[in-house]
Structure 1
Amino acid sequence: MSYQYKVFNKLPKAFLSVLLLSSFVLFACMQKKQPAKNPPGYDLSKPVKYALPSTLTEISGLAFYKGDSKWVYAQEDETGRVYTFDLKDIHLLDTKFAGKGDYEDIAITREQVVMLRSDGTLFVFPFAQLRNREASAVKTFVKLLPKGEYEGMHADEKTGLLYVLCKNCKADKKDKATSGYIFKLLSGGNVQQAGEFSVRVDTGKKKGRFMPSALAKNPRTGEWYILSSVNKLLVVADVNWQVKDTYSLNSSLFPQPEGIAFDKQNNLYISNEGGSGSGTILKFIFKK
């Protein structure tokens, strides 16, 4: 029998109990989860939550006109309609722009509305036609993008540039990067290719490829906020698409995050498809 064991065995039982209890408390504290990370200025655990009507259960994108959050412009991924509504009084007005299809995102810039279908097809029509029941001057652009699945799009009002990010493209599987494409929105609603970019995101899983569902530019910092419903991640990248940080999304708040936008007060909005529940829009109020 070792000397250390003899000494330990002679210690008072009360002292041993205190020692064991202290060790247990210390271990429990070490196991306690660290507070969730948040992007600067936003608390992702404390949104203002808006439940949407059943028509928008499958909401897949949202946008504002010049950052004005008075009116929300959104679409769901089935019927080829844009819905206009006020979050304070959700009475839906709808404008048909195309037939049934898998529509994934909406962008508004330079007085034009741009709709993205999952196969990369773009639909462009004048913003003023959202006052009508049906848009009559829709331009359709096919095969501008390589074959793949697309869900994320952002339009820059200042430059007139349109950014489209691939969710699942064959070329990305080998390179382990996510491809993006830039277009210039010309007068009259025409679209011209203007460049490419890519973003590399480590999901923390060996077989977990990054699959983005939406993107938006933070108007205050110029950073890119990239959302992934599949990975339950919010990625923040700098102006050159270099990843600065990633933030895990709580699935109870973000069951299926598919849309993202900022208003001109720098508030952040994320929309969720409802699945078995109602679709939602979560507003995260910016705080310095």
Structure 2
Amino acid sequence: MNKFGILLFSLAAVSCMGQKEYTSPAGYDLSRPETFKMPVILDEISGITFTNSDTLYAVQDEKGTVFHFQPGSEALAATKFGRKGDYEDLSVSNGNIVVLRSDGSLYAFPLNETAQPEAASVKEWKKAVPAGEYEALYADPQNNEVYVLCKQCEADKKTSQVTGYILQWTGGELVTKTTFTLDAATLQNGKSKKAALKPSALARNPKTGEWYILSSVNKLLLVADREWHVKETHTLKPSLFPQPEGIAFDKAGNLWISNEKDQAAYGTVLKFALKQ
């Protein structure tokens, strides 16, 4: 091989070494989404969820409003439930839409009131969990438990753990049932590192029961087992996930991730079809 050929080979090798490897959880291909562009009102889309229908429910982090629509349709309905605030996630539990504010406050109103422009029966639990910053919420439809995961809490400072809280519906009220911890010491592909994980969304895979934890700050998707032991970490490609803030599964097991606008021209919702 001549000097020119050696140079080309060396440059190619360096280029390959510099490329990050982007992996995907079993059943999905995170490099091949179906992309849905969001209207301007959802530039700051921060949380998404499904019911048993194909309707996607969403909040954005500036308005106390729940939006719902069929992905791909231009029709968008909105239901106001509260004042302006930093609303981060939502889920459906016990026949209610439950919304999480970043300070740990929770709001709930009957799902059927999303047919109205303003909810009439809103309940509020101010700072339902200890002081901290929160963005991740999931409601289990089977046992009416509501899971809230810390983004930044005093209990987790200088540790690799993330604290979570489980609340239970009791007599129409949400009451703290117990706590749990997720050990995020293995953030960097199995290398022990006390890098703070800052979850931005939480969902449960209906097919496997595994927890999917999304982090916009860390550009990561973590997969944990039912007992919150991290099994996999997947680095997210910034060009596809500029600011991933919401995650959900639909009834067919397809994975959905939403992105705030960030530096992009618009917010997006990405669908990753379950491989058959």
TM-score (normalizing by structure 2)? 0.91
Task: Give the Å deviation of 1:187.
Answer: 5.2
Structure 2 CA distance, aligned partners of 1:211 and 1:35?
A: 22
Task: Give the Å deviation of 1:23.
Answer: 9.2
Once structures 1 and 2 are overlaid, which stretch shifts more, 125-134 or 47-56? 125-134
Task: Give the Å deviation of 1:197.
Answer: 0.8
Unaligned ranges ≥5, structure 1: 1-15
- Tell me the equivalent position of 1:106: 90
2:246 alignment partner, one of 249, 259, 280: 259
- Tell me the equivalent position of 1:53: 39
Report the 3-state secondary structure (helix = DSSP H, G, I; strand = E; otherwise coil) of the residue aligned with 1:175: coil
Report the 3-state secondary structure (helix = DSSP H, G, I; strand = E; otherwise coil) of the residue aligned with 1:89: coil
Task: Give the Å deviation of 1:84.
Answer: 1.1
Larger Rg belongs to? 1
| Identical counterparts, % of pairs | 46
TM-score (normalizing by structure 1)? 0.88
- Tell me the equivalent position of 2:65: 81
Report how many residues are paired. 269
Counterpart residue identity of residue 53, structure 1: P
- Tell me the equivalent position of 1:285: 273
Q: 1:75-105, CA deviations, whole angstroms, 9 ceiling, x for partnerless residues?
A: 1111100011111212111100000100000
Unaligned ranges ≥5, structure 2: none
Structure 1 CA distance, aligned partners of 2:14 and 2:262?
A: 37
Counterpart residue identity of residue 233, structure 1: L
Report the 3-state secondary structure (helix = DSSP H, G, I; strand = E; otherwise coil) of the residue aligned with 2:158: helix
Report the 3-state secondary structure (helix = DSSP H, G, I; strand = E; otherwise coil) of the residue aligned with 1:251: coil
Q: Do residues 166 (structure 1) and 127 (structure 2) align?
A: no
Q: 1:178-210, CA deviations, whole angstroms, 9 ceiling, x for partnerless residues?
A: 00000112453x112111111121333967311
Structure 2 CA distance, aligned partners of 1:27 and 1:280?
A: 36
- Tell me the equivalent position of 2:176: 193
- Tell me the equivalent position of 1:224: 211
Report the 3-state secondary structure (helix = DSSP H, G, I; strand = E; otherwise coil) of the residue aligned with 2:164: strand
Task: Name the Cα RMSD after superposition.
Answer: 2.0
Report the 3-state secondary structure (helix = DSSP H, G, I; strand = E; otherwise coil) of the residue aligned with 1:130: helix
Report the 3-state secondary structure (helix = DSSP H, G, I; strand = E; otherwise coil) of the residue aligned with 1:162: strand
Report the 3-state secondary structure (helix = DSSP H, G, I; strand = E; otherwise coil) of the residue aligned with 1:171: helix
- Tell me the equivalent position of 2:2: 17
- Tell me the equivalent position of 2:120: 136
Report the 3-state secondary structure (helix = DSSP H, G, I; strand = E; otherwise coil) of the residue aligned with 2:157: helix
Structure 2 CA distance, aligned partners of 1:286 and 1:177?
A: 30
CA contact (8 A) 1:52 1:90 kept: no
Q: Do residues 241 (structure 1) and 228 (structure 2) align?
A: yes
CA contact (8 A) 2:160 2:194 kept: no
Structure 1 CA distance, aligned partners of 2:152 and 2:110?
A: 30
Structure 1 CA distance, aligned partners of 2:243 and 2:32?
A: 17
Task: Give the Å deviation of 1:110.
Answer: 2.2
- Tell me the equivalent position of 1:271: 258
Structure 2 CA distance, aligned partners of 1:231 and 1:34?
A: 15
CA contact (8 A) 1:102 1:117 kept: yes
Counterpart residue identity of residue 149, structure 2: L
